Structure 1
Amino acid sequence: MKNLSLKSLSKTYFDPYAGSHYTALHDITLDVPAGEFVSVVGPSGCGKSTILNMVAGFIPHSGGEILVGGQPVKGPGPDRGVVFQSFALFPWKTVLENVGFGPKMRGVPKAERDEIAREYLAMAGLSHAADRYPNELSGGMQQRVGVVRALANKPDVLLMDEPFASVDAQTRMTLQEELTRIWEERRPTVLFITHDVPEAVFLANRVVVLSKGHVLADVPVPLARPRVWDKLVEDEEFKDLSNKVLALVRSA
């Protein structure tokens, strides 16, 4: 895995109705060391998803730099995997084929990519679903497939845009625990966007709070791992950290 660096990053849009430009993000500087998990929170409209889309290469940045392993980001690429809020699975492909899609695009032979896909499905407890189609899975299972599909392509950086927002609360907690387990096993570099403060604290090594297009705070999360909700839900350190981050978000 490689580090992710944002250096004086900015994004400016032209508003045709107002006939002028406005700045959505300005002077964002953030370093995510290789193998670290960073959550980004903040009120709606603060620029969280804009940052992720620029890092993914889906939209251009207006100023500054985005570097992955020291190399500038100039567009989408296999060095960055993305997991969206929508499951975004190919409905006509089996679970095995969905997870093996990235390796297929890289020219990996079928036997080898099937082996890779089965390895990641086993890691997520989905071996039994390999030959099913997405419409045969629950929402939580579909999102687990989405996560391991991104990981199976072995990206340097994993970008996650509110990936658990569309599932029920219990499933969400289970997915959060599984994500921390997978992260501990594989240690990908993760940039995780969320509105949910407890989720951000539960998952991350650091929580970055955005406000009006700039970084308001960067809060370390020294909670021990592995993390499970049964132990943390009443943990005073977890509560204090969550309250601290929530207060920052409210002030933003």
Structure 2
Amino acid sequence: MKSLNLNHVSKTYFDPYAGKNVNALRDVSFTLEQGEFVAIVGPSGCGKTTLLNMIAGFLPHTGGDILLDGKPVDGPGPERGVVFQSFALFPWKTVLDNVGFGPKMRGLPKAECDRIAREYLELAGLGHAAERYPNELSGGMQQRVGVVRALANNPEVLLMDEPFASVDAQTRMTLQEELTRIWQERRPTILFITHDVGEAVFLADRVIVLSKGAVLQEVAIDLPRPRHWDTLIDDDAFKAQSAQVLQLVRSA
């Protein structure tokens, strides 16, 4: 079983304004098992995005080990897909070609790239938009394209950095439900960064709370699946677990 392991990971950098080294992350350890959905929350500046960028290979870590299936992470790679807050789609490419970009970079034939792209677009309810361009889509549709573009490359881990932060509340709830549906069908391993406690509890199997660059606590989420906002929003267990995580974030 493939897993992502962080063992005593730290990140130190020199702050020229303060004139000293700063510990952005210190002694962070946790494991994501294959097919698990884990969310990371914490106050601004606690190191959430820095941590994701190190796992993605965009930033080097200065201490500890980041291992994917036992192999050190030392740079970007196709086994780690990333979905950003900005849609980050190629505006000159159709939706079909955006989603098929990863398979194309792996050297697959055009017909196979298109087949894979159409499969994932249908999974996200976007089959009708295959020949459109990103500027012809709503923000919510663009972000769904961003999610399935990452999934179409069949990554071992999908890293998501506040991907729904830039859309309105109703669209955000719809995207959260869509993501849980796609996750249940395909079971990718997901690490999801968010400021929104309710979003984290709704989506995840576990929520990791960061505080000042360190893991404060992990909270197991035992809500049944599939999850839908119309049944969970007034659910006592959901409210209790959200309150537990929120209290931890506030204490951080």
Question: Shorter chain as normaliser: what TM range?
Answer: over 0.9
Map residues 55-70 of structure 1 onto 2, 5 A cutoff: 55-70=55-70
Per the alignment, residue 86 of structure 2 pairs with 86
Per the alignment, residue 203 of structure 2 pairs with 203
Q: Tell me how far apart the structure 2 counterparts of residues 217 and 91 of structure 1 sit (CA, whole Å).
A: 41
Per the alignment, residue 144 of structure 1 pairs with 144
Deviation at 1:2, TM superposition (A): 2.9
Query: Taking every aligned residue pair, what percent have the same amino acid on both sides?
Result: 75
Map residues 126-145 of structure 1 onto 2, 5 A cutoff: 126-145=126-145
Letter of the 2:2 counterpart: K
Per the alignment, residue 154 of structure 2 pairs with 154
Q: Tell me how far apart the structure 2 counterparts of residues 35 and 64 of structure 1 sit (CA, whole Å).
A: 24
Q: Tell me how far apart the structure 1 counterparts of residues 188 and 61 of structure 2 sit (CA, whole Å).
A: 24
TM score, norm. by length of structure 1: 0.99
Deviation at 1:158, TM superposition (A): 0.1
TM score, norm. by length of structure 2: 0.99
Per the alignment, residue 11 of structure 1 pairs with 11
**5+ long unaligned stretches in structure 2:** none
**5+ long unaligned stretches in structure 1:** none
Q: Tell me how far apart the structure 2 counterparts of residues 94 and 3 of structure 1 sit (CA, whole Å).
A: 34
Q: Tell me how far apart the structure 1 counterparts of residues 96 and 3 of structure 2 sit (CA, whole Å).
A: 29
Letter of the 1:239 counterpart: K
Q: Is the 8 A contact 1:2 1:35 kept in 2?
A: no
RMSD of Structure 2 on Structure 1 (CA):
0.7
Letter of the 2:233 counterpart: V
Indicate the larger mover: 15-24 or 226-235. Answer: 15-24
Letter of the 1:184 counterpart: Q
Per the alignment, residue 30 of structure 1 pairs with 30
Deviation at 1:20, TM superposition (A): 1.6
SS at match of 1:39: strand
CA deviations 1:134-177 (Å, max 9, x no partner) are: 00000000000000000000000000000000000000000000
SS at match of 1:170: helix
Per the alignment, residue 21 of structure 1 pairs with 21
Per the alignment, residue 163 of structure 2 pairs with 163
SS at match of 2:88: coil
Q: How many residues align?
A: 252
Map residues 42-53 of structure 1 onto 2, 5 A cutoff: 42-53=42-53
